[in-house]
Amino acid sequence: MTVNARLRELYPDSEELFDIVLMTNSHAQVAVRFINSINHYNLTIERFCMTGGQSPISYLKAYNTNLYLSKDPEKVTEAIEAGIAAATMFSQDREREFSDTQLKVAFDGDAALFSEDSAQMKQGHLDRFLEYKRKNEGIQSLAQIPLKSFLEALGKLQKKFYAKNERAHCPIRTYLVSEHSGASSGARVIKTLRSCGLEIDEVLIAAGAPKGPLVKKIRPHILFNDEMFNIKSLSREIMGK
């Protein structure tokens, strides 16, 4: 992984790296097959959690997980309700080229995640999680939800490169994308992310135009949005469907 390779160059003795843990409910008997696949594709995965048919969610905190990714929406919801930042992964119909020199992380500035008041949130955002939070304590900003821990961890790695005058060549690049024209709204999102220690490299405001072309140009590895409808809509724009 490029981020870890660059970190090791700049900080040879540091153990603070971008860490990936493979979590699966598969039985330990398939461990050798997993290891062979990881070695075959030259992946930097050294930690495993194989639970033999049980859900791995209960182990997330033990592994100090900052972000849990899964193709199973139910497991994602379970992780969020356990206080762990989580997101659903989905596959594209066509192959897409992604940068192998930078980890690109994009944030949808129009998402309810950045709402100032829970009353402004649209029905269906964040599914069961936001409904649970509204009933129990409400949400006013991104800093109050589990995603904060991931932002803080990402920002910490970001700053390690800045400390070595590597801002212009940082292998972590962040984007804020919005189709709205409200400058104040964009400023609020930037301040919210900054309060978590994360700096935004590029701000792209579409001012009413579709933001799909902007996301297509970025080709982010991770895009944070809180509604699957928006994700699928963006996917159709990006893939030209």
* Eight-state DSSP code of residue 94: S
Taking alpha carbons only, the member of 160, 149, 148, 145 closest to residue 65 is 149
Type of residue found at 163:
A
Question: What whole-number distance in Å separates Cα of residue 138 and Cα of residue 121?
Answer: 11
Q: Which of 19, 108, 110, 201 is catalytic?
A: 108
The answer to whether 108 is a known catalytic residue is yes
> Which residues does 17 contact at the CB level (< 8 Å), separation at least 6?
3, 4, 7, 8
Phi, psi of 19 (to 5 degrees): -100, 135
Q: How far from the centroid of its chain's Cα atoms is residue 33's Cα?
A: 28
Joined tokens for residue 197: 């220690």
Spatial distance between the Cα atoms of 95 and 122, rounded to a whole number of angstroms: 33
Helix axes 127-136, 73-81, angle to 10 degrees: 20
The catalytic residue positions are: 108
